[in-house]
Amino acid sequence: MQTTGLTDFKYMTPTGIQRNCNASFKSPVPSLGASHPSDKDALEQEIEKLKENQLVLDEEIAQLLAEGYSLEELENHIALLHEYNEIKDVGQMLLGRLAVIRGVTTKEIYPEFDLDLND
């Protein structure tokens, strides 16, 4: 089936609308030079807070090392916590799916598995 006429061009730019393909791109992200002084102040304050937080964490690490903990032991403990949290997340997901299948709330399933709602 062969068509003729203007219907073949219905997705083209309408007549009368001019677009300049050579125009520079206008980014929606403001450039760093265009930032306001208040933005700069806020960034400087955030940097100071992060530096203070880093000092607090360094002090906590030093205290743990002084108490006899080794870096390897701390790293292992952190890795075990991550693994625990991942397993717990999977368990929560399974309980949620089971609740959906049964048409009940997750809260109603907890006692069946001897789980505490605060865990």
Instruction: Measure the CA–CA gap between 28 and 85, rounded to whole angstroms.
Output: 39
37-66 and 71-102 helices, crossing angle to 10°: 110
**13-69 pLDDT tens trace:** 555 555 666 667 777 776 665 556 678 888 999 999 999 999 999 999 899 889 988
The pLDDT mean for the chain works out to 82
Residues 62, 100 share a domain: no
Check the CA dihedral 105-108-109-115 and report its sign.
positive
Residues 84, 49 share a domain: no
Instruction: Supply the DSSP symbol for 67.
Output: T
Of 47, 69, 91, the one marking the end of a domain is 69
Domain limits for position 82 = 70-119
Number of structural domains (the chain) is 2
Residue 26 confidence (pLDDT): 74
pTM: 0.46
Residue 4 confidence (pLDDT): 53
Residues 101, 63 share a domain: no
